[in-house]
Structure 1
């Protein structure tokens, strides 16, 4: 395992050479991911690893991709999507236009899940889904709407468990070992790079989803991100986080109301 002082050297070098600050990421998580990359690429000495990052911008980009990639799946946590389907989307339906922000969207499975929910509610035509991530590589994957065909059985089970009534295979075309999702879903999506570490609000949203991203941040950066979401959320809009994440210690309960036991909060003030 790499040493703490080596990790600090990496953080400082990346900030000095590229202007990106990993200093607010959870040290334990960051250390595990850096160590995995270091071992995977066969470095013998940490100074060689640092030199490669400083001198090779493409390798720096690879490092960022490896460190920031998150695991996701369509309709992950079906009970969460069931609450969205039954309690959140019917209220969004009353709005003349619906803006949704998926912050830290990774490879896009959750964005396509939301588009399917909106389509089934007859709302996709008046919706726009903004999907952002710091990782340019996963955004390129997300834009294509192409996922492994072997995952469709699991995704279909998740969809049905969330309350889906349609034939899930009607939303994609199968070709060899891939499933390509229909363009009428992706044409309502806007993909863009955005950093929760350093970038600001860029619109007002009715629903913001940032699930299983904040667990990789330290307390200060978690607070910054949640404040950003608060600033970006319309009154009576909804904020959704991952199962181990909360707004409790940043925003308290004064102007947000939690829905059931799911990590979904309605902004009431």
Structure 2
């Protein structure tokens, strides 16, 4: 059973009025697909009952946020992208007295740990700070722990090698009871915080901002708002990295940027 468009609008308004979460800028098709999935997964047959559950049960609402904002992520995903970070971006950041990175929409944190490893291998982690934010507090708690399923390590290790890694990947974590816990020297350079790209403002100036495969879920207005927020948060000659289907082109700030080759990385030039 699928939810009608007018019911979806009612849900979005109710969530905003009750919790202050604004989903109005999310791509309607993507939002509807995920709400429909949750509605059917949890056995609802009556939309009013679903709406009351979301409005009155905070635990259930958190589950809904988790379902709607979940992003598929893995360490060193798109190795070619990380290779460009390793060989071209990070060496230019090395000249700075201090390096600030922002991972917006960090999900469960695989990307943050990937970049921390690159910085450590360039001997720059000691003078770096990685801010990792997400709308969803549950995934942030998972990211903070730095614990991932051990069976993923083979894939992550292959990605790491394809991204130019030279070390034995297992040196970065300890294995225990089917899980891999990443070293604390990586996580102690990370700050995890809840942040809503729709309604929250800039909170620092950054040298590198990564927001990969988040904007595809937003409509054009919200994409423009998020990119403008990144522009306000990025230092001159800093870098903005987006997902493979995302772009700075056609945004209000596109004239401030030049693209690096074919990778979805832009340098702020004015």
Instruction: Give your verdict on TM over 0.5.
Output: yes
Match of 1:231 in 2: 232
CA deviations 1:176-234 (Å, max 9, x no partner) are 21000000000000000000010000000000000000000000000000000000000
Equivalent residues in 2 for 1:145-160 (5 A)?
145-160=146-161
Equivalent residues in 2 for 1:97-246 (5 A)?
97-246=98-247
Structure-1 separation of matches of 2:253 and 2:126: 35
TM-score normalised by structure 2 residue count: 0.98
CA shift, 1:82, in A, is 0.4
SS in 1 for 2:251: helix
Identify unmatched segments of 5+ residues in structure 1: none
Q: How big is the alpha-carbon RMSD for the aligned residues of Structure 1 and Structure 2?
A: 0.8
Q: Is residue 228–residue 253 contact of structure 2 (8 Å, CA) maintained in 1?
A: no
Match of 1:91 in 2: 92
Structure-2 separation of matches of 1:16 and 1:112: 36
SS in 2 for 1:249: coil
CA deviations 1:41-76 (Å, max 9, x no partner) are 111111110010111122111111111111100000
Runs of 4 or more off by more than 6 Å in structure 1?
A: none
Structure-1 separation of matches of 2:254 and 2:261: 14
Structure-2 separation of matches of 1:17 and 1:267: 38
Structure-2 separation of matches of 1:174 and 1:120: 21
Match of 1:18 in 2: 19
Number of matched residues? Answer: 269
CA shift, 1:255, in A, is 2.0
CA deviations 1:143-173 (Å, max 9, x no partner) are 0000000000000000000000000011000
SS in 1 for 2:250: helix
CA shift, 1:21, in A, is 1.4
Identify unmatched segments of 5+ residues in structure 2: none
